[in-house]
Amino acid sequence: MRFADAPSASVTVEIAASPEQVWAICTDLTRFGEWSPENRGGRWLDGASGPSLGARFEGIQEHPARGRWETVCAVTEFDAPRRFAWCLGEVGEPGATWSFSLAPSGSGTALTESVRMGPGPSGITDAIAAMPDKEERIIDRRLAEYHTGMTAVLEGIRAAAERRA
């Protein structure tokens, strides 16, 4: 797969808690650092105190190969308690788009976290530019990291939500 193909990944977990309970946790930027191997948390910008359509936030990231950096993100979808999506970088040409989708499921909630790379530049485009002959391997490795990270985040959200339920 190539970057131009908009590679993506998603993970879903079943949580024994209501969508409203899960929503409160998965939209709390400050908690992501508790579970993610890469995200260290975030803070709302421009006077925002929580998620809303168009709200911007800064996310703090850390990766062994790249070090620590900040990203500015914008909320692109906000439909409580069903969907929360945000993009990194420019809204019209994001480096990546992330989302949480919630759906009632049995006595709880099916929570899916998804990511789609591109079409705009990101840290991975720098790696591809440095080693274009390894593009597919770079993308495969990054997608595997995303899958591992999303699984950890969703398991953390599940544990937090089920403690509350």
Please give the average per-residue pLDDT across 22-29, as a whole number: 94
According to the model, what pLDDT value does residue 165 have? 66
Confidence check: pLDDT of 113 > 90: yes
Q: What Rg value do the Cα atoms of the chain yield, rounded?
A: 16
Cα(159)–Cα(165) distance, integer angstroms: 10
What's the pLDDT score for residue 65?
Answer: 85
Is 90 exceeded by the pLDDT of residue 26?
Answer: yes
pLDDT of residue 77: 97
| Domain ranges for the chain | 3-35+79-164
Give pLDDT tens digits for 136-155. Answer: 999 999 999 999 999 999 99
Superfamily of domain 3-35+79-164: START domain (3.30.530.20)
Q: Is the pLDDT of residue 10 over 80?
A: yes
Q: For the residues of 86-152, what is the DSSP string, one character each?
A: EEEE-SSSEEEEEEEEEEEETTEEEEEEEEEE-SS--HHHHHHHH-GGGHHHHHHHHHHHHHHHHHH
* Span 89-113, average pLDDT: 95
| pLDDT tens-place string over residues 115-133 | 999 999 988 998 999 999 9
The closest of 74, 114, 67 to 94, measured between CA atoms, is 74
Can you tell me which residue has the tokens 């969907």?
A: 83
Q: CB–CB of 74/62 below 8 Å?
A: no
Helix and strand numbers (H, E) in the chain are 4, 7
Q: How far apart are the first and last CA of the chain?
A: 41
According to DSSP, residue 50 is labeled S
According to the model, what pLDDT value does residue 102 have? 98
Say which range, 31-35, 83-87, 151-155, has the weakest mean pLDDT: 31-35
